[in-house]
A and B are shown apart, each in its own frame.
Chain A
Amino acid sequence: MLKGKYTRYLAAAAVAALMTGTSVAEAAGVLTIGRREDGTTFDPIATAQNIDFWVFSNVYDVLVRVDKSGTKLEPGLAESWTVSEDGTEYTFKMRPAKFSDGSDITSEDAKYSLTRIRDDAGSLWSDSYQIIESMETPDPQTLVVKLSGPSAPFMASLAMPGASILSKAGMEEMGAEAYAERPIGSGAFSVEDWLRGDRVILAKNPHFWEADRVSLDGVEWISIPDDNTRILKVQAGEIDAAIFVPFARIEDLKQDPNLKVLLDQSTREDHLLINHESGALAQKEVRQALDMAIDKQSIVDAVTFGIGEVAYSYIPKGSLYHYADNLQRPYDPEKAKQMLADAGASDLTLDYLVRAGDQVDEQIAVLLQQQLGQAGITVNLSKMDPSQTWDMLVAGEYDISVMYWTKDVIDPDQKTTFVLGHDSNQNYMTRYNNPEVEALVAAARVEMDEAKRETMYVDLQKMAKEDVNWIDLYYSPYRNVTQSNIEGFFQNPLGRFFLEDTVKN
C-alpha cells in the first residue's frame, strides 16, 4: 500500500518538474511567430525566398522603404533624394543612423551593399542592378548613384530586401559566411541566435534609428512545418502568432474569442498559364473562349472559402497602377462553345499540368476540368512533382497549368517584363508574343512622368486581357492569426511585417 502511494507522489513530482520546464522560454515582450519553414541565410543577396525576405525587413533597413499601403515609397536610411534632369543621376542624403554594433551607417556602406548585389558571384539579383553604372560618396552622408540610362523602376529596386544595407567593415572582418549566420543589422531587431531548423531569435536593436517606435523586446520566428500543429500551437496559447493559415481553417479560427484572424492584402495572384505555341491555343479567340468557360467565382468559393477575390488584371488589386475597370469576361460556357466552333477548335483537348501534393492546385484542377468540359473541352490532368512541373513549363511541355505570382518590388516593371515583355523566360513560360505589347513594356520602363506611365500600364493591362496572355483566376490575402492581446501585427502587400509597430499587451 505504502509503495503504491510513494510511486504516485513520485509520478506527481516528475510531472510537476516537467511542466515547469516549459515556462522558461516565455519572456515578456517577446513575440513568438510560427511559420512554415526556417530561413536559409541572412545574406540578403543570396536568397530569393519570401521566408528570408520577410525577416530581413526587420533586421536590415534599406535606403527607401515601401509604405504600409504597398503602393508608395518612403524614406528609410535615405532621408531625402534628388534626381537629375535626365533621370540618370540620383543623389541620396542619408540620415545619421547606426548599425546594431553601434557603428555609424555611412554612404560607404550603402555603396558597398549595392555594389555587392550587382557584382558578387553569389548574388541572385545582379540582373536587376546592372543599370547602376557607378557610385560616389562625396561625404559620409551622401551617396551619388549614376545609372547607364533612365529607369523608372530603379527607386523601387532599392526598397527590395535584397538591397538591404550591410556593414562594410563588419562584412570585411567577418567574411560573408559568418555574416550570413549572425549579421550586423541596420533594422529594428538584431539576430541574437539562430537555432537552425528551429527558430531565429531576434532582440530589439537599441541602436536602430527609430528605436523609439519599437515596443517589443524581441521576436522569435519558429519553424513549424505542419499546418495543423502550427495552428494547434496558437490555439494552445504556446505562441503569439502563426502565419500561412490554410483557407479551410479561417472560419473556425474566427469563432475563437482568444484569437484574431488577420487577412491582409497581398500581391498574390493565381492564374492559369496557357501555352501560346500549342496548337489551337495560338488563336486569340480560342484563349478568349477558355476565359469565358471558367467560372472564377466558383473557384474563389470552393478553394479559398470565399476569402479570395476574382482576379481580372495581371497587376493585382491594391498594387501600384492596378486597373480596376479592366474587362471581366462573363462566365458563359455556351458562348465559349460557339467561339471554339467558329475558330475550328470544337474538339479541343488540353494537357493540364498539376502540381501533385498541392491541395489547392489539385482542387482547382478538378474544378477546371469539369468547367471546361461543359464547353466541350477535354482536359487531361497530369500530376507531377512541383519541381518537375517547373521544368516542363519552361520546356513548353504543357497546354495549361495554374501558377501564382507574388511581387517583390512595388514597381510593376519587374512582373510586366517577365510576363509580357518577352524576357528570356518566354513570358513566364507562356510563349506569349505581341511585339506591340513588348514595345510598350520597354517604353514604360523609361517613362519618368508618373501620369503618362500609369496610362501605359493601364493600356498594358487591357492589351494583356484582350490577348489573354494568361487567365486571371483569383487574388488572395495573407492569412495570419494572433492571440487577442497582440496589436498591430500587420503585413503590407509586399509581405513586410511591421513588427516595429507590433505591441504585445
Chain B
Amino acid sequence: MSRYRFVLYRPFQLLPVLVGISIITFVLVRSIPGDPARVLLGPRSTEEALRRVREQFGLDEPLWLQYFYFVKNLFKGELGKSILYKVDVLKLIATRIEPTLVLVIGSVLLALLIATPMAAIAARRRGSWPDHVIRIISTAGLGFPAFWLAIMLILLFSVQLGWFPVTGYGRTFVDKIHHMTLPCLTAGLALAAVLTRNLRASILAELQSDQATAARARGLSENTVFWRHVMPNSLVPTVNLLAVNIGWLISGSVVIETVFAIPGMGQLLVRGIFTRDYMVVQGVAMVFACATVLVNFLADILTVSIDPRIKL
C-alpha cells in the first residue's frame, strides 16, 4: 500500500497553504476600500458612534494584532464575531453550510449523470450526428452565463410548467430536493459541458490504447472492453478536472444562491463583502479554501485508487 503513503504526509504539506490562505484573505478583505463601522451605522453616523463601533469589534487595533487575534481564534476553533450580525461567524456558517453543500454535491452528481452517457455516446460514435450534436451543445453550454440560464430554467420549469418552485430551499428532505433541482441543474449543466468535452477526448484516447487493443485481442466484447478498461482509465483526468472545478463551483454558488434565494454560504459571503463584514468574509473564505484543498486531496486518493500506475 505504499502508493497511499502520501495520505499521511500530504496534510502537513497543506499546512503552509492554509496559512497562506489565512494571510491572503485577511489582507485582501481589508485592502478593499470602505469601512465596516460606517456601513453598519449608515451615512448619519457621528465620529463618536464610529469610534465606539470600531472599538467594540477591535477594528481600531493595529493590523498585525488583528491578524494575531484571528489566528488565535482559529486555533480555538472560532472565526470571530460578525460585525453586521453580532453573532459568531462559525454559528452563521453552521446555519448556512448545508444548502451550499447540497448545491455543490447535487451539481456534481447531475453533471456526471449528464456528462458520462453523453461523452460515451459521442466517443463511441465518433463523427456520427449524435457526436456532432453533443459537441455543439457542450461547446454552447460553456458560453451560457449562470444567471441567464437560471432565469430561463425558472421561466420554463417554474412559471410555465409549474414543476418546481421559483426560489428557496425548503424544509423537509423531499421539499429540499424539489427546491434544489433547478439550482443544481443550472450549475450542473455548465459543469457537464466542461466534463463532456474532456471525458469524450480521454475516452477516444483510451479506445485506441494498447490496453484496449490487448483486451480486444483476448476476445472480449467491445462493451466489456469499454466499461472495464476504457471507462475507468478515462475517468482519471475527469476526476482531476472535477476537483479543479470545485473551486469554480463554489464561486459559482455565489451567483446561483443569489438568483435562487438559497440561504447558503455564497449569499453570506456576498453580503459580507458589500457590508465589509471582515470576520464573515475571512471566515467564509477560509471554509471555502479548506473545502477546495480537501476536495483536491480526496481527488488524489481517488485517482490513485482508480489507476494503480499513478504514484503521488
Instruction: Given A43-B86, A387-B276, A390-B38, verify A223-B263 contact (CB < 8 Å).
Output: yes
Q: CB-CB contacts of B216-247 with A at 8 A, as 1s and 0s?
A: 00000000000000000000000000000000
Asked if A243 CB lies within 8 Å of chain B CBs, one says: no
Does B38 contact A223, Cβ atoms closer than 8 Å?
no
Does B168 contact A222, Cβ atoms closer than 8 Å?
yes
Q: Closest approach, in angstroms, between the C-beta of A241 and any C-beta of chain B?
A: 14
Q: Which of B48, B151, B178, B268 contacts A127 (CB 8 A)?
A: B48
Instruction: Given A226-B259, A229-B259, A388-B34, verify A41-B165 contact (CB < 8 Å).
Output: no
Instruction: Given A43-B86, A197-B96, verify A390-B49 contact (CB < 8 Å).
Output: no
| Complex interface: chain A residues within 8 A of B174 (CB) | 17-18, 20-21
Instruction: Given A18-B177, A25-B171, A229-B151, verify A121-B34 contact (CB < 8 Å).
Output: no
Q: Which of A197, A230, A232, A238 contacts B267 (CB 8 A)?
A: A197
Does A122 contact B154, Cβ atoms closer than 8 Å?
no
Does A388 contact B33, Cβ atoms closer than 8 Å?
yes
Q: Which of B40, B154, B258 contacts A124 (CB 8 A)?
A: B40
Does A127 contact B177, Cβ atoms closer than 8 Å?
no
Q: CB-CB contacts of B14-45 with A at 8 A, as 1s and 0s?
A: 00000000000000000011110011111111
Nearest-neighbor residue (CB-CB) of B174 within chain A? A21
Binds B, one of A210-218, A420-428, A453-461: A420-428
Q: Closest approach, in angstroms, between the C-beta of B208 and any C-beta of chain A?
A: 34
Instruction: Given A224-B261, A229-B166, A425-B46, verify A37-B271 contact (CB < 8 Å).
Output: yes
Binds A, one of B64-72, B108-116, B155-163, B196-204: B155-163
Instruction: Given A223-B263, A225-B261, verify A24-B162 contact (CB < 8 Å).
Output: no
Q: Closest approach, in angstroms, between the C-beta of B36 and any C-beta of chain A?
A: 9
List A residues 418-441 near B (Cβ within 8 Å): 418, 423-425, 428-429
Q: Closest approach, in angstroms, between the C-beta of B10 and any C-beta of chain A?
A: 34
Does A387 contact B35, Cβ atoms closer than 8 Å?
yes
In the bound complex, what is the Cα–Cα distance between A21 and B264 (angstroms)?
21
| Complex interface: chain B residues within 8 A of A228 (CB) | 151, 259
Does B162 contact A423, Cβ atoms closer than 8 Å?
no
Q: Which of B41, B166, B169, B175 contacts A24 (CB 8 A)?
A: B175
Q: CB-CB contacts of A17-33 with B at 8 A, as 1s and 0s?
A: 11111101100000000
Does A226 contact B33, Cβ atoms closer than 8 Å?
no
In the bound complex, what is the Cα–Cα distance between A19 and B178 (angstroms)?
7
| Complex interface: chain B residues within 8 A of A25 (CB) | 171, 175
Number of A-B contacts (CB under 8 A): 160
Q: CB-CB contacts of B53-94 with A at 8 A, as 1s and 0s?
A: 100100000000000000000000000000011110000100
List A residues 172-223 near B (Cβ within 8 Å): 177, 180-181, 195-198, 222-223
Instruction: Given A229-B154, A233-B167, verify A24-B172 contact (CB < 8 Å).
Output: yes
| Complex interface: chain A residues within 8 A of B147 (CB) | 226
| Complex interface: chain A residues within 8 A of B170 (CB) | 21-22
Q: Closest approach, in angstroms, between the C-beta of A39 and any C-beta of chain B?
A: 9
| Complex interface: chain A residues within 8 A of B49 (CB) | 124, 126-127
Asked if B52 CB lies within 8 Å of chain A CBs, one says: yes
In the bound complex, what is the Cα–Cα distance between A15 and B264 (angstroms)?
25
Q: How large is the interface on B (under 10, 10 to 19, 20 to 34, 35 or more residues)?
A: 35 or more
In the bound complex, what is the Cα–Cα distance between A40 and B168 (angstroms)?
19
Q: Which of B48, B92, B150, B154 contacts A424 (CB 8 A)?
A: B48
Does B40 contact A122, Cβ atoms closer than 8 Å?
no
Does B167 contact A196, Cβ atoms closer than 8 Å?
no
Instruction: Given A387-B34, A390-B35, verify A235-B159 contact (CB < 8 Å).
Output: yes
Does B56 contact A121, Cβ atoms closer than 8 Å?
yes
Does A197 contact B263, Cβ atoms closer than 8 Å?
yes
In the bound complex, what is the Cα–Cα distance between A20 and B43 (angstroms)?
47
Does A177 contact B86, Cβ atoms closer than 8 Å?
yes
Q: Which of A223, A394, A405, A424 contacts B261 (CB 8 A)?
A: A223
| Complex interface: chain B residues within 8 A of A46 (CB) | 86
In the bound complex, what is the Cα–Cα distance between A387 and B84 (angstroms)?
14
Q: Closest approach, in angstroms, between the C-beta of B33 and any C-beta of chain A?
A: 4
- Other than the known A180-B86, A232-B167, A424-B46, what 17 A-B pairs have Cβ atoms closer than 8 Å? A18-B181, A21-B172, A24-B172, A46-B86, A124-B41, A127-B49, A195-B95, A195-B263, A196-B95, A197-B95, A198-B169, A224-B167, A225-B267, A233-B166, A387-B32, A387-B34, A387-B39
Closest A-B pairs by Cβ, 10 of them? A387-B34, A197-B263, A198-B263, A388-B33, A224-B261, A21-B175, A21-B174, A233-B166, A21-B178, A18-B178
A-B contacts, 7 listed (Cβ < 8 Å): A22-B175, A48-B40, A127-B46, A177-B86, A232-B159, A384-B33, A425-B43
Interface residues in chain A, defined as those with a beta carbon under 8 Å from any beta carbon in chain B: 15, 17-22, 24-25, 37-38, 40-41, 43, 46, 48-49, 121-122, 124, 126-127, 177, 180-181, 195-198, 222-226, 228-230, 232-233, 235-236, 238, 384-388, 390-391, 394, 403, 405, 414, 418, 423-425, 428-429
